[in-house]
Chain A
């Protein structure tokens, strides 16, 4: 057994929360630069340039990339050989609190979803996977709600075809339109159960943006970028930077598909302990 202290976890979560909110992911920045270079119309190019300038300015001035510093979603991959000294989830939330406070991030969390009330920094959402080994991987994904509000789940029939699934994913992006800060990164989860498909869709956003996705991912990206929504919804070919899909076995009676869209400020940071 390897022991990791809750103090260590708090400190690492605090650092990751700040890093994610202030330093735009390298793969996202690269994808934005590429989109800016390829942009056909002058306005789209200007908007993408502002988005890139914003990321650079945030890094340089240690400012939040976006005022919506999100609902912090924390993914834990906890090795079976790790013993946590102290309370793991309390340690994570304390880390969020410390990191958000230190970097002057936004209090966006209301304790009562119906009663609302004064916003706070916490709690975050914590997803834990128990894995082999004796390490703990922590990932912090601050998820803005302009794009989270555009999430969708549909329970397809097992006999439905791939074209219907594609149409559903493309429709999600079309209905988000200009509202959720395009160019988007589209996360999709296919399979599992209703709840699990949603988690897969969110996890898909953690995957690095790369050009060697599956044929389905590449086809969807091409289709979505034909929609003409473009940066800020003001036209152009850069509606999405990537489509990332995660899959899981499912039941003979069903085919759940969830979509979780990210704005261009797709922020996450990880560390292995």
Chain B
């Protein structure tokens, strides 16, 4: 299986095709509903994002608590569709790479195609298993959101499936 590392080059992103399975290593930022809302509000007002999401991989995830002696608790993907209202704006603002579960709306597919991004899905409902691939985790921003805070994760061989590729083709048809 192909191994890829962050930051993902434009060339690499373009080479990925819907349905391809890859293993990702590098840095991933978690962000879901409330973080998306807050991030969008900040950018719309001309403020800076609390992390440089232009080259970043954003993972729709709010992990369970971290048991003692572990790096992170269960940390699977949440339903991506809830982020559809925010994603086209964020993609236009520079976000290219997203990880979640499930299908996306037309507008997101179009934005991914236009800005040459990629939307990955990972094993849904497998949060315990996915915690094995996280090597470091710390709060990067919005700590007051609790589990919905933006976390900076370092992952190793995190399993992904390309769900929407840079040409806008979707695995869900």
A: residues with CB less than 8 A from B are 47, 50-51, 53-55, 57-58, 61-69, 103-108, 116, 118-119, 146, 149, 177-181, 232-234, 263-265
Contact = CB atoms under 8 A, between A and B. Distances in A.
Given A118-B146, A232-B124, A178 B131 contact: no
A264 B102 CA distance: 14
Interface string B125-156: 11111011000000000001111100000000
A67 B63 contact: yes
Contacts of B88: none
A67 B61 contact: yes
Interface of B: 34, 61-67, 70, 73-76, 78-81, 101-103, 121, 123-129, 131-132, 144-148, 159, 161, 171-172
Contacts of B159: 50
Nearest to B146: A119
A178 B103 contact: yes
Given A104-B64, A146-B79, A179-B79, A65 B172 contact: no
Given A66-B64, A179-B81, 9 more contacts: A58-B74, A66-B128, A106-B64, A107-B65, A108-B147, A178-B102, A232-B123, A233-B103, A233-B172
A42 to B, nearest CB: 11
B74 A63 contact: yes
Of A51, A64, A103, A118, the most chain B CB neighbours within 10 A belong to A64
B74 A67 contact: yes
Contacts of A232: 101, 121, 123-124, 161
A168 to B, nearest CB: 21
B164 to A, nearest CB: 12
Contacts of B70: 61, 63
5 contacts: A54-B125, A66-B126, A68-B78, A106-B65, A178-B103
B70 to A, nearest CB: 8
Contacts of B144: 118
Contacts of A67: 61-64, 73-76, 127, 147
Contacts of B146: 107, 118-119
Which 7 A-B residue pairings sit nearest by Cβ, starting from the closest? Answer: A104-B65, A179-B102, A58-B128, A54-B126, A181-B125, A67-B127, A54-B129
A64 B67 CA distance: 10
A250 B161 CA distance: 47
A50 B123 contact: yes
Contacts of A116: 34
